[in-house]
Amino acid sequence: MKIPFGAMTITQTAKDLIAEALDSERLSSGKLVRRLEERFAELTGVKEAVAVSSGTDADALALAVLHDFGANRGDEVIVPALSFVATGNAVLQAGFEPVFVDIERHTLNIDPTRIESAITDRTVAIMPVHLMGKPAEMDAINAVACKHKLYVIEDAAEAHGATYKGRTIGTLGDMAAYSLYVAHIITAIEGGIVTTDREDFAEILRSLRSHGRACKCKQCVINTADQTCHKRFQHGVDIRFIFERVGYSCKMNELEAAIGLGSMEVYEQIVAQRHRNLMTMIGRVAEFAPLLTTFRQEEHETIGPHALPLLVAADAPFTRDELAAHLEQANIDSRNLFSSMPTQCVGFAYQGHELGEFPEAEYCGTHGLHVGVHQALTDEQIDYLIDTLRAFIAGRT
C-alpha cells in the first residue's frame, strides 16, 4: 500500500474553465481571478479578498500594506519561531525584520505569554501562524496587539476550515494570508490570497501585486470585461504607468483561478472528509503516548484539517529521522515538522541567535514530523498507517 502526503481534487468545472480561458486567449489575471476572489471572500466571511501567486506573496503583501500607514523599512514583525520558513522570508521580503518568539509545544503555535517582552518601539505587527491548521490563541494575541497599537496579520496558510470561538480563522486580525498551494484544501496549484474587511487595505494590495501601479480597481474592466477604461487617461498620463509605491509582480493567472474555483466547488465535502480523517487519526495515535504524541482539538475550536503532526518523545528509543525513514520504506510519505527559523535555518543565522534560545520550537524541529489527512485517504490506509507505527514502536521497545 502507498500513502501519499496529499491529494488534489480537479473538478470538471475546473477543466471546463481552463478550456474556456484557453479559448479566450485571456490567460493573465482576469475575470476568473476576480470570480475566485469573490467566492473566497464569501467562504471566509470577509469583505475583500485579493489573489496573488503564492501564500508567501500573500504574507509579504499583507505586511507591505503597512508601509502606507506609517511603517518604516527595518521595523519589526513578531512571528513564531516554528513555522515553514516562508513566514520569516516574507517578513524580510516586505522590508521588515522578523522578531522570533518561542511556541507552545502542545499547540505548535506562538506562546502568547512571551509576545509582550519581544515588543520594542520598532514593532509594527504580530503575525501569528495557525500551524497545521490549529488556531493560535487569538484573544490573547489581539489583547497584546490592542494594548501596544499593533497590527495583527494571520498566517492562515494551513488553516482552511479552522474556527476559533465560533469565528472563522482569517477574520480575527486586520488581514489574513492564505496559501492555495497544491497540498492545501483549497488549491490553485501555486496561488495565495489575502483577506480583509478594509477596502483601503484591499486597494493597496491590488496595487502591490502589480508593481505598485496606480491601477487598483476592484474589477479591472480591461482585464475582466474587455472594455475601455475611462480612468486610464483621466490625468493625461496612462494610469497603468503611474507607480505609487514599491511593488511586486505576483498576480494569479486565469488557469490557476480555474483550478481554485473548481476546488471551492467541493470545499465543504473536502473539509468534512479531511476533518473526519484528522480526528480519527488523533484518536488512534493516542495508543502510542507518551512515545509518540500529537495535538488535540479543544472545545472552543475546529482545527483546519491540513495534516497530522507527530512528536517523538525525548526519551523514546528511536529518533524522528528513524521513524520517517521507516515510514518511507513502508511507502508512507511524511514531512518534517518544520524548524526553528532563527536557530535551525541557516538563512537567519545573521541575527546571531544560538541553539537553546527557542527550546520548544527547536524540539519540534528535531522531534516532529507530519503525515497527510487528505480527502483521498481511505480507512484501510489509516489502518495501514497505525499498524505500521505500532510495528515500528514495538520493534524498538
In a domain, residue 314? The reply is yes
The number of distinct structural domains making up the chain is 2
Residue 226's pLDDT is what? 67
Domain range for 252 is 12-265
Q: Are residues 254 and 372 in the same domain?
A: no
* pLDDT of 223 above 70: no
Q: Are residues 316 and 240 in the same domain?
A: no
Which of 241, 265, 289 marks a domain boundary?
Answer: 265
Q: Are residues 183 and 280 in the same domain?
A: no
User: Residue 328 maps to which CATH number?
Assistant: 3.90.1150.10
In a domain, residue 7? The reply is no
pLDDT, mean over the chain: 95
- What mean pLDDT do residues 364-370 have? 98
In a domain, residue 71? The reply is yes
* Residue 284 grid cell: 488512534
CA dist 259 and 17 (Å) reads: 8
Q: Are residues 309 and 256 in the same domain?
A: no
Q: Are residues 171 and 197 in the same domain?
A: yes
Q: Are residues 97 and 208 in the same domain?
A: yes
* pLDDT of 384 above 70: yes
User: Residue 73 maps to which CATH number?
Assistant: 3.40.640.10
- What mean pLDDT do residues 129-152 have? 98
Q: Are residues 104 and 180 in the same domain?
A: yes
Longest dimension (CA), the chain: 78
In a domain, residue 1? The reply is no
In a domain, residue 5? The reply is no
In a domain, residue 97? The reply is yes
* pLDDT of 220 above 70: no
- What mean pLDDT do residues 169-174 have? 97
Q: Hey, which residues does 194 pair with through a beta bridge?
A: 50, 177
The model carries a pTM of 0.94
Q: Are residues 255 and 320 in the same domain?
A: no
Asked whether the beta carbons of 297 and 283 are under 8 A apart, the reply is no
Q: Are residues 28 and 46 in the same domain?
A: yes
Which of 244, 265, 286 marks a domain boundary?
Answer: 265
Which of 234, 265, 296 marks a domain boundary?
Answer: 265
**Window from 24-28, 42-46, 256-260 with minimum mean pLDDT:** 24-28
The residues carrying an active-site annotation are: 184
Q: What is the pLDDT of residues 98-126, one digit of tens each?
A: 999 999 999 999 999 999 999 999 999 99
Q: Are residues 293 and 238 in the same domain?
A: no
